[in-house]
Amino acid sequence: MKLPTTLRLHQQLVLVVSGLLLVAIALLGGYTAWAQYQSARQALQVQAANLARFMALSSGNLILTESLDQVESLALRMVDLPDVMAIRVVDAQGQSLCHVLRREGGAHQVVFDAPNERLPLPAQAQAHEVFEPTQPGQLVAWHPVMAGTLVGWVQVVHSTQALPLIWHHTLRSTAVVAVLAVALCGALLALVLRQPMQALASATRFAVNLGQAQGRQMPVPEGPAEVVRLSEALNEASSRLHTQMLDIQAKVDQLREHEAQLEDQNEQLDAIFTLSPDGLVTFDPEGRVRFANHAFMLLTGLEDIQVLGRTIEQLDEALASKVSNGMPFPGLAASLGEPGARVNKGVLITVSRPQTTVISLVSQRSPTPTVSQVLYAVDVTAQHQLDTVKSEFLSMAAHELRTPMSSIYGFTELLIGREMAPEKRKDVLGRIYRQSQQMINILNELLDLARIESRRGQDFSFETLNLQDCVQSALADFKVPEGREAPQVAESEEAWPVRVDAGKLQQALGNVLSNAYKYSPQGGPVSIGWASRLVEDPLGEKAPRVIYFGEESDEAPREVGVVITDRGMGLKPDELARMGERFFRADKSGNIPGTGLGVSIVRELMELMGGHFEVQSRYGEGTSVTLWLPLQTTAAQCPT
């Protein structure tokens, strides 16, 4: 029998015990009812047999003497006995001699059977009772009438209706006993199980909250050994679980710490991969692109669909389509290197995206099983341009030095190999002197540039000085070319303090003034004016407000400048764009002496002092150069 799982243990025990008790009582009651039924039936059979025997013994002589009235009188008395329904006396051939019935209500009735009617007799003719099966509720007993010989039979019909009453009474009594026994047994069982069930309920609550017990122990109750062992087992489980939870918590904390470290590392790597200007591509063991950062896409101009999941050959084709026309493309094979090579020196490719970019592709084989190759893409355009500039610089420096050196070498060889008149010899020596002076100027300017680049203003001595005083000091030291007029300086009543190195500012002003006179060989005035503008104004948005010959500003300036203007040959637009490049000279004839480094030095000096310079020029009309400096609050006297 399967009990409902919602019942508690003591309820299940009561149900099981009650069921077993009911089954036992039912079996016992059924057996008792059956035994009583059989006993009562046997008693009825004995009573019917005794009555038939007594009637047979009493009616033997009467049959022989044919005293049938007495036989009938005897039968009438016998039929009054309880549960006797009918008595019949027949002769040996089955012919009825006497037949008495008792109707419902107790009335007697003598039945006269037909003379020729023969009653079927029992098969055996022994001198004892015979029972025959009859209709339900009746018991028939036969007994032979003996008088030396068989003279007849006595039939007694006995009622068995009392037997079911005995059966039902026994069952009712059994049911009452069963109910009382189950109630008593359930009450006793509940009383006996009360303390163990309370202990079990307490153990259950403790077990339910075992995860939050944190090693606490429950009191061990008094009761059955099973409950005691269960409580002890729960206490031990609580201790072990607390220990395991502490270990798990420690490991979880350690895992969380590791996870936080990994997350931090991943974020750093993501930031590096995202913000790094260098491209990164990884290949899986099958040789397909597994990862490519955004920088690689920007460097190469490729789309994600052209890179991710592609083979080396497909990526090679995509890169080849981006290579600038006419530029060589060695392919990724040259970058990835031969199998077994851990690091390759890499190759250079030039791509258009749309501006021309020089990219260095370097490969490194990975020792991890999930990544076979790592390809690095680095933008080396600036380095490539720097190398080109260096090469051009060396070439131009060698060219600029070679010209005076060739002249010096030639004139020296001429002096050694030939006899000359004193006047001619003096002219040759003058040429050698001038070429030597040009070489010294070139070397000095190269040394100035090298010093500026190496020290980056560390040797500057900054002071807050009056700009107008610094310009006057520079003019005092400047040697105006022979036959030319001194620069015309615009008057200014304002004092414009600037923080500069006085010597470096005078050097920059001297270079600009020297160019102004050299590039106006036909003469014409060279003028110096003043300019100011608000610092917050975007550079180039507004033209500088220049003050010539006392014209004053009506706004508080934040950035001030010295404007040096000539009326010389001017610059073409393409020449104006190259102003500041080293060794660039607008004069290609070679008639105007110079090295092409003066403007580069001016640009470097102005930037190191926090300023900048601007050039405006029209070809054939002249050039205007403005040196801009931040305005300060106070100024000292500019040293002379």
Q: Cα dist. 245→161, 232, 339, 460 in Å?
A: 79, 20, 51, 68
Q: What is the mean pLDDT of the chain?
A: 76
Q: Cα dist. 632→529, 542, 556 in Å?
A: 19, 22, 12
> Of the segments 174-188, 193-207, 577-591, which one has the largest average pLDDT value?
174-188
**How does pLDDT run across 121-168, given as a tens digit for each residue?**
876 555 455 565 556 777 888 888 887 788 888 888 888 777 777 778
441 and 563 assigned to the same domain: no
In 10 A of CB 218, how many CB atoms? 18
User: What letter does residue 538 receive in the DSSP assignment?
Assistant: P
Ramachandran sector of residue 78 (left: φ over 0; alpha: ψ -120 to 50; beta: rest): alpha
Q: Cα dist. 386→391, 401, 454 in Å?
A: 8, 22, 16
pLDDT-based confidence at 445, cuts 50/70/90?
Answer: low
Residue 197 in any domain: the answer is no
Q: How far apart are CA 587 and CA 519, in angstroms?
A: 8
440 and 573 assigned to the same domain: no
Q: How far apart are CA 618 and CA 569, in angstroms?
A: 8
Q: How far apart are CA 459 and CA 374, in angstroms?
A: 45
**How does pLDDT run across 460-479, given as a tens digit for each residue?**
778 888 888 888 888 877 77
Q: Are 103 and 124 in contact (CB under 8 A)?
A: no
Among 258, 173, 439, smallest CA distance to 266 is for 258
Lowest mean pLDDT among 35-39, 58-62, 469-473, 556-560: 556-560
472 and 611 assigned to the same domain: yes
Residue 51 in any domain: the answer is yes
Mean pLDDT for the stretch of residues 189-214: 74
Spell out the residues 6+ positions from residue 373 whose beta carbon is closer than 8 angstroms to its own: 282, 283, 287, 336, 363, 364, 365, 366
406 and 497 assigned to the same domain: no
Q: How far apart are CA 244 and CA 252, in angstroms?
A: 12
Among 149, 140, 186, smallest CA distance to 63 is for 149
Q: Are 275 and 283 in contact (CB under 8 A)?
A: no
pLDDT at 233: 81
Spell out the residues 6+ positions from residue 161 whose beta carbon is closer than 8 angstroms to its own: 83, 137
Give the percent of the chain with pLDDT over 70. 78
pLDDT at 395: 65
Q: Cα dist. 101→51, 85, 104, 107, 136 in Å?
A: 15, 6, 10, 8, 18
416 and 495 assigned to the same domain: no
Mean pLDDT for the stretch of residues 415-442: 73
Q: How far apart are CA 54 and CA 49, in angstroms?
A: 8
Q: Are 141 and 42 in contact (CB under 8 A)?
A: no
pLDDT at 551: 41
Which has more pLDDT, 502 or 291?
Answer: 291
pLDDT-based confidence at 609, cuts 50/70/90?
Answer: confident
338 and 414 assigned to the same domain: no
**How does pLDDT run across 237-282, given as a tens digit for each residue?**
778 878 888 888 899 999 989 888 888 887 887 777 777 788 888 8
Lowest mean pLDDT among 66-70, 360-364, 405-409, 511-515: 405-409
Structurally, how many domains does the chain consist of? 4
Q: How far apart are CA 169 and CA 33, in angstroms?
A: 8
pLDDT at 336: 64
pLDDT at 400: 64
pLDDT-based confidence at 549, cuts 50/70/90?
Answer: very low
Does the pLDDT at position 544 exceed 50? no
Which range of residues forms the domain containing residue 147? 9-166
User: How would you class 88 by CB atoms within 10 Å of its CB: exposed for 0-12, middle for 13-18, buried for 19 or more?
Assistant: buried
437 and 464 assigned to the same domain: no
Mean pLDDT for the stretch of residues 1-11: 58
**How does pLDDT run across 303-331, given as a tens digit for each residue?**
888 888 888 888 888 888 888 776 777 77
pLDDT-based confidence at 108, cuts 50/70/90?
Answer: confident
56 and 143 assigned to the same domain: yes
160 and 36 assigned to the same domain: yes
Buried b vs exposed e over 287-306: b needs ≥16 C-beta within 10 Å?
Answer: ebbbebbebbbebbbbeeeb
Q: Are 239 and 232 in contact (CB under 8 A)?
A: no
Lowest mean pLDDT among 390-394, 456-460, 549-553, 590-594: 549-553
Q: How far apart are CA 57 and CA 145, in angstroms?
A: 7
pLDDT at 10: 64
Going by their DSSP bridges, the two strands 289-292 and 463-466 should be labelled as: unpaired
Q: How far apart are CA 282 and CA 290, in angstroms?
A: 6
pLDDT at 552: 44
Spell out the residues 6+ positions from residue 87 whose beta carbon is closer than 8 angstroms to its own: 51, 55, 75, 78, 79, 98, 99, 100, 154, 155, 156, 157
pLDDT at 586: 62
Residue 119 in any domain: the answer is yes
Q: Cα dist. 78→81, 84, 122 in Å?
A: 6, 8, 22
Residue 177 in any domain: the answer is no
130 and 159 assigned to the same domain: yes
